[in-house]
Structure 1
Amino acid sequence: MKNHDSLQKDILAIMVFGIVSILVQASSANACGKHFNLPDESCHEYSVVEPDDLTRWYFVDEPDNTDWNRGTLSPVVLFFHGALRDAEGMYDLVRWDDPGGYYDINTDNVITVYPEGTNWRVPHFLFWNDGRNRTWEKTGRGAAKGADDVGFVIAMLNELVRIYHIDESRIYAAGASNGGIFVQRLAIELPTQSRYRLAAIASVNGLLSDPDHADYTLAGNPPAIPEMINNVSVPPTPVLIINGTVDMILHYNGMPSGEQSVLLSAEESVSAWVDHNGQGTFEYPTGFDSAPYFGDRQILLDGCKVYRYWWTDDSQNNQRNVVFYKIKGGNHFWPWEGAITLWSKCKDFSTTEDIWKFFSRESLR
């Protein structure tokens, strides 16, 4: 039997542990307002501290449905902002609760997450380490150089799984521009560095970075498929890619980017995923259509025309495992967002809506 002093120490330890546990739990559910200026009651902000003491932030938009977190597993969509943007800007762009479009999409139990990249110089003008240098591990672009963004996502997922009832077979990632490049990197690297795997990704105005080829020119021969995507340990991944043909930021036909890397063209990026997923070749899609489709309509005054291609795997019940939206006349935008301007805001479909329609068909189960 323990003596009196020993028993007191055990009781004190239990009390301290309980207090610490409560503090940790309370701090993990802060309503948005400390770091993010979002008053929505369904918004909760979190932070993780990386090994180099860099604090990284993200916020969670919880579903309005009161039953969503009572034991039912919820799918998760991670939304990654573009360069010189932040998580709040991505939230405004996505408009998850009011995406426009032509359908009522069931998102009652979907948890949406908005992480932030880094910029050690100017706040709110942030970047993702999207792999546009020779090594993808510790180099990056601009102010994000050296940021371990894949490690940040892993730490974030660990926290989300601890706090919420997450369906790990239905974790999705979507990104715009720099974020669209990053989600393609994430689909390749996440399964090799953690227990997590993305059920599907969507890249809007993003291209596939090729850190293995430094001699790419627009007039020369296109590079080979990036060696990273040919890694046998990288599982096939359903991919939705949306690009405009007159994008003035990330060119449809590809571009040199940085000292030791390139960005493949939109069609080369799609071809790489079609090949990796074992769905034939880019030249022979399973199907093709153009707006209007599925009740969508072509808006004649927005200056664009949408062509949709898809490639399926017969062994996967003909799911559209790779889908490509080629927006003729499309620029660097999130289709449907905002009013029609000289930059051609394509209104033929709602990006947010079509992303969820694509994701909702895909699961690792």
Structure 2
Amino acid sequence: MEQRTRRAATVRRTTSATLAIAGVLTLLIGCDAVRPPQRETPASTAPAGTAPTRSAAPGPGPAAVPVGSSTHYVTVDGRKRTFRLYRPAELSPSAPVPLVVMLHGAFGSGQQAEAAYGWNTAADRHGFVVAYPDGLHRSWAVSADCCGPPARDDVDDVAFIGATVATISTRLPVDPHRVYAAGMSNGGMLAYQLACQTTTFAAIGVVAGKLLGRCPSPAPISVIHVHGTADDVVPYDGRPGALDNGGVGPLPVRIDGGPVPEQIDRWREIARCAAPEVRTAGPTTTSVARCPGGRDVTLIAIAGAGHQWPGAAPQSAAERLLGLDPPATALVATESIWHFFDTHPVGG
């Protein structure tokens, strides 16, 4: 009887979350969110898929980018795309600096990700810059049938992120050996596609996402992946998620690809890693595999945690309306991911 009651409560929660999210997504697609005025830089047009090479020289210095947060845009495939950029006040005017590209989840935005996940504070503390790109209609195309209008319209978001990195590298002294991508949910899925289709990034950090779509021959890369075992939206065990509609209709969402641990095993095979070392502390189980070239592939599983960014800011009213899970407190994902990035430049 108790088990049936718990299952019924879970079904009610999942169904309510699905209906709420679908309603909010329809609203967001129907109209643009109102944003406060931002400092904007002149538009630039970047060739699709451009990105700095490993041997690229630092840009002309930080004078082109104001201290704090500013809004910038590039044109890719005829579309004007926007991203926010955070520059710490203490940024060196000459020394190459790391760049973290933080990719918001579906229904989110660059502004939302900047407010929620604590990357600006980490940037101030550790000395790097952070980009917060905006997905079209608040989502990213990561496969032929996920997620939302960008997938339906075959938007090349990999090209957009490449153009974003290239543009920032002309305005700031970005270290091409220390460019990283982090993502939440749908943004984590895009981070995996960046690892599949480019060699721009030294490492990626994924929270509550997974690899969708084709990835035939990726280069070895360092990966840190954080996931709650009770995630209903992107299930840890590979089941279809609460929002999965089979990838059909005007808002296609199909989340497949198998269990998260099996996907991590594949990245370990790609990087020719040794057998992982596993340790458990409270609800958190960390599995670290050491790989040639100074790379690591790490999985952090949080028992009982749902679809959330661990250690994030308290939920906003919109996040509560969507029925999203509260942030886990077992670790601060931003600090864990940055520490991983900081110790994994290109070449080890």
TM-score, normalised by the number of residues in structure 2: 0.71
Q: Distance in 2 between matches of 1:82 and 1:156?
A: 18
1:247 to 206, 231, 234: 231
Partner residue, 1:144: 150
Is 2:141 the partner of 1:129?
Answer: yes
- Indicate how the Cα distance of structure 1 residues 332 and 144 shifts in structure 2: closer, same or farther if over 3 A, else same: same
Larger radius of gyration: 1
Is the contact made by 1:210 and 1:264 (CA closer than 8 Å) also made in structure 2? no
Give the superposed CA RMSD.
2.6
Mind listing any 5+ residue stretches in structure 2 that lack a counterpart?
A: 1-39, 45-65, 241-245, 249-253
Deviation at 1:70, TM superposition (A): 1.6
Deviation at 1:97, TM superposition (A): 3.8
Alignment of 1:81-230 (within 5 A): 81-98=104-121, 107-119=125-137, 126-133=138-145, 140-145=146-151, 146-191=154-199, 197-211=200-214, 228-229=215-216
Partner residue, 2:340: 358
Partner residue, 2:308: 333
2:88 to 48, 57, 63: 63
CA-to-aligned-CA distance 1:54-77 (integer Å, 9 cap, x gap):
110001100120xx2421001000
Q: Distance in 1 between matches of 2:231 and 2:219?
A: 30
Aligned partner of residue 79 in structure 1, secondary structure: strand
Counterpart residue type for residue 258 of structure 1: G
Is 2:68 the partner of 1:42?
Answer: yes
Aligned residues: 268
Is the contact made by 1:210 and 1:261 (CA closer than 8 Å) also made in structure 2? no
Deviation at 1:289, TM superposition (A): 1.6
Alignment of 1:262-281 (within 5 A): 262-280=256-274
Deviation at 1:86, TM superposition (A): 0.6
CA-to-aligned-CA distance 1:147-191 (integer Å, 9 cap, x gap):
111111121122111111110010000000000111001111023
Q: Distance in 2 between matches of 1:143 and 1:312?
A: 38
Partner residue, 1:22: none
Q: Distance in 1 between matches of 2:41 and 2:336?
A: 36
State the structure with bigger RCO (CA 8 A, min sep 6), 1 or 2: 2
Counterpart residue type for residue 288 of structure 2: W
Q: Distance in 2 between matches of 1:70 and 1:344?
A: 39
- Indicate how the Cα distance of structure 1 residues 160 and 327 shifts in structure 2: closer, same or farther if over 3 A, else same: same
Counterpart residue type for residue 338 of structure 2: W
Answer 1 or 2: which has greater helix percent: 2
Identical columns (%): 24
Deviation at 1:28, TM superposition (A): 6.2
Partner residue, 1:123: none
Partner residue, 1:27: 42
Counterpart residue type for residue 27 of structure 1: P
CA-to-aligned-CA distance 1:27-82 (integer Å, 9 cap, x gap):
269xxxxxxxxxx9511211111233x110001100120xx242100100000000
Deviation at 1:351, TM superposition (A): 0.5
Q: Distance in 2 between matches of 1:154 and 1:111?
A: 16
TM-score, normalised by the number of residues in structure 1: 0.68
